[in-house]
Chains A and B, each alone.
Chain A
Amino acid sequence: MLFNSLSFVVFLIIVLALYYSKIFNWNGKKRMLLFASYVFYGLWNPPLVILLWISTMIDWITGKKLSTEENKRKRLLWLLLSMVVNLGFLTFFKYRDFLLDNFTTVVNTYGYGYQSKPMDIILPMGISFYTFQTMSYTIDMYLKRTERAKTFLDFALYVTFFPQLVAGPIVRAQDLISQFYEEKRATINQFIWGLFLLTLGLFQKVVMADSLLSDTVDKVYSSDKILNFWDAWMGTLGFSGQIFFDFAGYSTCAIGIALMLGIVLPDNFKYPYGSLGFSDLWQRWHITLSSWLRDYLYIPLGGNRHGVVRMYAALMITMLLGGLWHGAAWTFIVWGGLHGTYLILERLQRQFLPFKITKWNGIFLAFTTFTCVNITWVFFRAREFKTAWNMIGSMFYLNPEGEKVLSSFDVLKVGVIIGILFLCHWFMRSTSIEAVSKKVSPISLAVIWAVMFFLVAIAQGSGEQFIYFQF
């Protein structure tokens, strides 16, 4: 079920009505939320709920064993069992065809003439998200960093909690399960603020990403022509806006919906296009994934504890796998590799060419970071390397005779939206929407809210899927 759909509106009203009715006690409410979460997921593809159940059962049993088992070898075996099952599902459903394609290519270079038949397996929505979430619980249990969930119901709800089930934020066990232990009710202010965030998220998705930017981006990236400098840049800048609004929109909705239930989810985006460098970027973009990769991949790979070379290798491996997490294609791996390279270059710069960031050079640095991020988006958005290279060539003015596919209005529209987006992120980088809203008069906030609601309604989101669902 999509947040930007009528069925979700009805679903949420029913869930809220049951949640705040006096029919259930707290355990009953949690059971209702768990059932609602399965309905939320099952309305997309009922049989795939079974995967969620298996994942939940395996990690619940593993967590239970790890909480009592002291034998190191047995503890490791339990951890491996969980990882094999979870990563096994992920590999089978998400990476099988990719691995098979590459295997075929490799063996055929040796003249075997092997023919593979892709299975075209349906990718379970949000599998990358809930797999990482449930794995974090087991790994934390193994490392004794978190307490075992008190009841199976709490754990199952942690894995399945519908606001963040299919596209995050990826929440750690200690941050969410503990919230289920005592009855939660949103205060009036929390509830209304949650509703505001839900509207804001839908506005970002339905109005900004789908209505204002997606067509322009599609026009550029579906073109089989060598494009003009401006078209290539506007298509890519448009995509940087589209993916931000799409994904941040989802996270904002998720945080808002959870808040309406009195549950607090962590921020996932903090004005990433106002970042001063790439380390800063990854503390602002998809924060819950980057912190997951840091804690469960980068640090176990050695982090910065074993010298510079090992640190750079760990950094690069983390970013390459981070790229692969986004999609089973080499373009995503290149995207991750570029970010890894940026992070390494940034650390080298800090070591050999340090400079102080002031408010004067800050915006220039943010603009440079944003520009470099846009180069990476080309590989993220392009379906093939050929398209990506053509786009990069055009963006670096290597195709001066390239064709124009965008209208003057498209160019102006993307330029204005992305210009405003960048400046917003720059000026908001040290604050939050909640802090700003407190400085605004209630009437002004109401007008802004009403305008967003109105635009969402007249945009009539035709239920376009969130980009990150495919990951």
Chain B
Amino acid sequence: MENNEVIGPKSRDRDTKGAKIYRFLKLNSFDELEMDYTRSYSSPKNYFLPFKEDLATYDLRDTGWEQEIRYTIHPRIIVGMRACDINALLKLDQVMLKSQYPNPYYSARRRNTVIIGLDHEPLEDCFCRSMNTDTAFHGFDLFMTDIGEKYFVAINSDTGYMILNRFDSCEVGEEDQLLYKEVRGRIESKFKTQVDITIVPELMDLEFESDVWKRWGDKCLSCGSCAMVCPTCYCYGIEEDIDLNFDKATKRRFLYSCNLLDFATVAGGHNFRPEAHIRLKYRYYHQFRGFVEAFNQSLCVGCNRCGKACLAGISPKAVIDDLIGTEKR
């Protein structure tokens, strides 16, 4: 473990109300790990889909060029991932690994990362239970639940087992099982926010022209913060740079957001999604309708990071409630 990069939740700063802001960052010692963290501001997806990543480099010559693709990374361990983030990775796997064209860059990172999950009590605005992502059954190596004196650990891989063997662990007894069930029950009872999404895929079509979109879209600043912190947003753009001597070039992928103005602008200047409310609508359409059609599950995991990050105060729960018509006006 000492030789590998370990990533875990760390507090970086405090917000205006004095609450800690957490992020998944490289840990230098065990003391830096804050197991009681609430919610990381940005999701750990960026260790699989970094904000910027060099896809290829080019050696330019007078007679042509040579391309070099590199995607090997050093093994990495992520400690303290929430069930929603693990489920988010499973959804990304559907797109990045199990589709027609697997993504080698993502695949390399996914295979070389050990994931140690951690259960937590839901926050005020978590609605992962409504999205069915409050528990993780696979997609991790170890998953820990705090049952008082001990941790109840689910093992899902041999790597996880080997790691666990280095620690002082014991078999699960009858008492531990009861404690675990009790803790799970307590967690489940503490969900305060609920979003009913059963009819949302259909509503997306029925209410496509609804003024709900205009109302929320007019608030949207088209800044793309929501997509940056989202654990499942994977839209990207590609840019190519050439260095000043004209002998090296880089092809770089950077995460993008479907809320940004030029998301669907084609050469010649035609924009297929010229207005903020259309782009906002499509963000929800992809999450709750398009992805459902393709993979039978919605892309949203209910972490409400986008709601927290949004400068205009647009939260997914409010938009969906408004769409369903349950929000009191």
A and B co-occur in one complex: no
Measured CB to CB, the residues of B under 8 A from A are: none
